[in-house]
Structure 1
Amino acid sequence: MTAARGRLSRRVSGIGAMELAGLMRLAHDVGAIDIALGIPPGDPPAAAIEAATAALTSAQNQYAPPEGLLSLRQLIAAELLRTRGVAVDPVDEITVTCGATEGVLAAVLAVTDPGDEVILPEPFYENYPGVIGLTGAVHRPVPLAGRDWRLDLDAVRAAITGRTRAVLLNTPHNPTGRAFDQAEVSGLLELCVEHDLVLITDEVYERYVYDGRTHVSPLGMPGTADHVIAVGSLSKSLHMSGWRVGYCVASPELTAGIRRVHERTTVGAARPLQQGVSAVGAADFIDDRALFQERRDHLVAYLETLGFDVRMPEGGWFVLAGSSGLAARSDKLVAELVETAGVLLAPGTSFFADRADGLNWVRTTFVRDRERTVEALERMRRFLTVTEQSN
């Protein structure tokens, strides 16, 4: 009898299981404190919950238009204008997706053919290689440069081949915490225009930049509309990560392609949840920056006392901490922390094409409950102290 895996497509067989998923199951079994996943504190705005509940109980449970409710697209357009000063047509330039992950998948499918290449700055969000692989395209990692994790435009240029069709950039960046600056983003976009590529930006943490910085997006940069697909999410700033409401913003031509993909994958996002989000106002978008900046500072300082090498994140929700000064490789360290100390971190191996490049890194988040985070860090201290004494 043919082995079951022989029935799988090559593109699926080539995608490994997410490392963090397995650790999460183990963490659940042992009751570990999770400081790996970025889950926002609190609940969605009351207006969103009330409107979604009303939709569920008033016969609004059938399909919404595949591109998303116009009221929601108008809300997204209004927020882009209010927060960035970018004018977007909600009718022809916005598509509501089932979270930002589907948005990235739809964007890559819309602009690549099997065998095409997508340049991916490394380290990268763990989902990206699998998303690109599912499309039949190939990810081409380009390392960020130096301890400051800067975007190396010369390295990007050198990585462009005749098969390159897109660049996928996450900013603010998961896992490093970089908020790429004007020179980096505009320089990357210039390369894309020069080589007729599409710059796909995942901007789910756009509202989370710290120390007075401003989020920089290629969206709205003059003369480049046909080279940009911006992917966003309402999960973070509205504390509704489980609602899975994201969106893509692009020129009408690119949007038409994205919608054709979207219609043949999920058809559309859940109507009652779209109704809920449509009910929020500008004041309902939760500004957690001051709170998260304070938690970031505390986490970074504490990790440094434990022997981790940490660069202060400029944005996002995560810290990528160097663990080379500790005794164990990060994959072993993370497993032992779950099993022995009851603390869940993300292994750095998840964020690099070559796992070996991630063996000296771990990722943790600073947006979880403060008291539980402190308890997790204390558990880590006790574990590392015992480990050091036994070596």
Structure 2
Amino acid sequence: MTRKRPSRLHHIAGIGVDRMGAIADISGKDFLRLENLDVDIPPDPEAVERTRKAAAHDDDNSYLPFIGQAHLRDVAARHVSDLSGVPYSGERNCVISAGGLSGILNALLATIEVGDEVIVTDPTYAGLINRVRLAGGVPKFVPFAFTPGGEWRLDRDALRAAIGPKVTAMLLMSPSMPSGGYLDAGDWDLVASLCVANDLLLILDTAMERLVYDNRPLIHPAGLPGMAARTITIGSSAKELRMIGWRVGWTVAPEAFMPDLIAVSLANVVVPVGIAQDAAAIALERSRTTLAPYVAELQARRDTVLEELKDLPAGVPGGGWSLLLRVSDFDIDGETMSQRLLEEGVCATAMRGWGERHGAQYIRFVYANEPVPRLKLLGERVRRALRL
């Protein structure tokens, strides 16, 4: 049977992680697993135990409530309120989704018209770019950039210049994936002023919001002047709570957006995973005190990778799980580097499709799934792959 491919898929990019992971799994070789977005640090044991109990609990084996269990909605709303200073209610301002990315797509479908332009950073996770396109939007890229050995910086002039008549929203993440780029107070002040002056929506991906290094402050832009009414916050249990397989996310938004967000949620996944929700609520509540050692471990891993890549053109992440090495400085692209690294026992993902100007020239190293002693094997292997 021949069938025309739907036009909405013409610009959908693969993320590469699944292909690289399959190669490593099939080979049986002891690769340094730096290709994926898993984490080897287990979730909160109380959340795991609550999940076990939920599997045998009839109320958790249910379609209801369609918009998410009340406890998790209350906890998620309070969590966002605590970070932003904006008063939110679980009953009036929160809907639960089957993971953070499902919540992102729901927010886009509920707010973006076909042809609307949505500002994203360059580079940005291909999964976010794909969801803008699936919703009928057009990604408009604003560069992050770095000098070798330096941090990623938002190009503020480019952000100002990106504003145009078709732009209706920004979809931002800090720390950003895959770069670990961090938006500082001046960046967020500019974002807020542009959103308010141009009546733009901010869709905020907070999957890694608290995974920040070097004592950087956590800035939640919903609390900035004029932003409470125009910010939709999407959270996730995957990165901060290390509950990847639970597939739980939450959307916290002004009450005016909730009917459409709920309508799209019901038309899409219908209901999030019942046996996972209360466990996520417990982990989120407990993370106020349990998160710090986890962040410290991630920072130690980042520092180890940076030391291993010393004097190579790597951007310094301000947070998150991963960093990028610019291999175009050595006259190769990320795909070539990925293949060379496989020969050296390193599984890492190329970045084609993860940006407009920034993408193909990078290889990404995710350091969340390998401990410090193993990460100390990276530098020699990278230099061999670069033919240094």
- Note whether the superposition's TM-score is higher than 0.5: yes
Q: Which amino acid aligns with 1:51?
A: R
Q: Matches of 1:309 and 1:17 in 2, distance apart?
A: 25
* TM-score where L is the length of structure 1: 0.89
Q: Which amino acid aligns with 1:296?
A: R
Match of 2:291 in 1: 286
Match of 2:156 in 1: 153
1:308 to 304, 307, 312: 312
* 1:10 positional shift: 0.6
Match of 1:380 in 2: 382
Match of 1:361 in 2: 362
Secondary structure at the counterpart of residue 349 of structure 1: coil
Q: Matches of 2:241 and 2:170 in 1, distance apart?
A: 28
Q: Matches of 2:385 and 2:48 in 1, distance apart?
A: 42
1:198 to 192, 196, 201: 201
* 1:25 positional shift: 2.1
Q: Which amino acid aligns with 1:298?
A: T
Matched, 1:114 2:123: no
Q: Matches of 2:290 and 2:109 in 1, distance apart?
A: 31
CA RMSD of aligned residues (A): 2.2
Q: Which amino acid aligns with 1:40?
A: V
Q: Which amino acid aligns with 2:183?
A: F
Secondary structure at the counterpart of residue 224 of structure 2: coil
* 1:127 positional shift: 0.9
Match of 2:261 in 1: 258
Matched, 1:223 2:226: yes
2:301–2:375 Cα contact (<8 Å) kept: no
Match of 1:126 in 2: 126
Q: Which amino acid aligns with 1:300?
A: L
1:321–1:361 Cα contact (<8 Å) kept: yes
* 1:297 positional shift: 0.9
Match of 1:186 in 2: 189
- Residues 381 and 161 of structure 1: CA distance in aligned 2, closer, same or farther (over 3 Å): closer
Matched, 1:64 2:64: yes
Pairing 1:1-391 to 2, within 5 Å after superposition: 3-4=2-3, 6=4, 8-30=5-27, 31=29, 32-59=31-58, 60-145=60-145, 147=147, 148-280=151-283, 281-282=285-286, 285-287=290-292, 288-304=294-310, 308-326=312-330, 328-338=332-342, 340-353=343-356, 357-370=358-371, 371-384=373-386, 387-388=387-388
The unaligned stretches of length 5 or more in structure 2 are: none
Q: Matches of 1:82 and 1:167 in 2, distance apart?
A: 23
Cα-to-partner distance string for 1:68-101 (whole Å, 9 max, x where unaligned) = 1110011123333445544321111112111111
1:177–1:319 Cα contact (<8 Å) kept: yes
Q: Which amino acid aligns with 1:20?
A: V
Q: Matches of 2:161 and 2:361 in 1, distance apart?
A: 27
Q: Which amino acid aligns with 1:286?
A: L
* 1:207 positional shift: 1.4
The unaligned stretches of length 5 or more in structure 1 are: none
- Residues 85 and 224 of structure 1: CA distance in aligned 2, closer, same or farther (over 3 Å): closer
2:304–2:375 Cα contact (<8 Å) kept: no
- Residues 295 and 16 of structure 1: CA distance in aligned 2, closer, same or farther (over 3 Å): closer
Q: Matches of 2:384 and 2:102 in 1, distance apart?
A: 41
Q: Which amino acid aligns with 1:95?
A: V
- Residues 19 and 40 of structure 1: CA distance in aligned 2, closer, same or farther (over 3 Å): closer
Secondary structure at the counterpart of residue 314 of structure 1: coil
* 1:161 positional shift: 2.4
Cα-to-partner distance string for 1:324-356 (whole Å, 9 max, x where unaligned) = 443532221112212x122111213242225xx
Q: Matches of 1:319 and 1:199 in 2, distance apart?
A: 25
Cα-to-partner distance string for 1:251-293 (whole Å, 9 max, x where unaligned) = 0012222111111100121111012223444257433121111
- Residues 158 and 381 of structure 1: CA distance in aligned 2, closer, same or farther (over 3 Å): closer
1:168–1:200 Cα contact (<8 Å) kept: yes
Count matched residues: 378
Q: Matches of 1:169 and 1:187 in 2, distance apart?
A: 13
- Residues 286 and 322 of structure 1: CA distance in aligned 2, closer, same or farther (over 3 Å): same
Q: Which amino acid aligns with 2:198?
A: H
Secondary structure at the counterpart of residue 363 of structure 2: strand
1:179–1:215 Cα contact (<8 Å) kept: no
Secondary structure at the counterpart of residue 179 of structure 1: coil
Q: Which amino acid aligns with 1:43?
A: P
Cα-to-partner distance string for 1:10-50 (whole Å, 9 max, x where unaligned) = 10233133333322222222233311223222322222222
2:77–2:252 Cα contact (<8 Å) kept: no
- Bigger mean CA deviation after superposition, 86-95 or 201-210: 86-95
Q: Which amino acid aligns with 1:176?
A: S
Q: Which amino acid aligns with 2:37?
A: G
Q: Matches of 2:322 and 2:230 in 1, distance apart?
A: 29
Cα-to-partner distance string for 1:301-322 (whole Å, 9 max, x where unaligned) = 1012xx5212321111111122
Q: Which amino acid aligns with 2:25?
A: H
Q: Which amino acid aligns with 2:50?
A: A
Secondary structure at the counterpart of residue 263 of structure 2: helix
Q: Matches of 2:267 and 2:290 in 1, distance apart?
A: 31
Secondary structure at the counterpart of residue 168 of structure 1: strand
Q: Matches of 1:168 and 1:265 in 2, distance apart?
A: 20
1:123–1:352 Cα contact (<8 Å) kept: yes
- Bigger mean CA deviation after superposition, 345-354 or 238-247: 345-354
Q: Matches of 1:139 and 1:188 in 2, distance apart?
A: 16
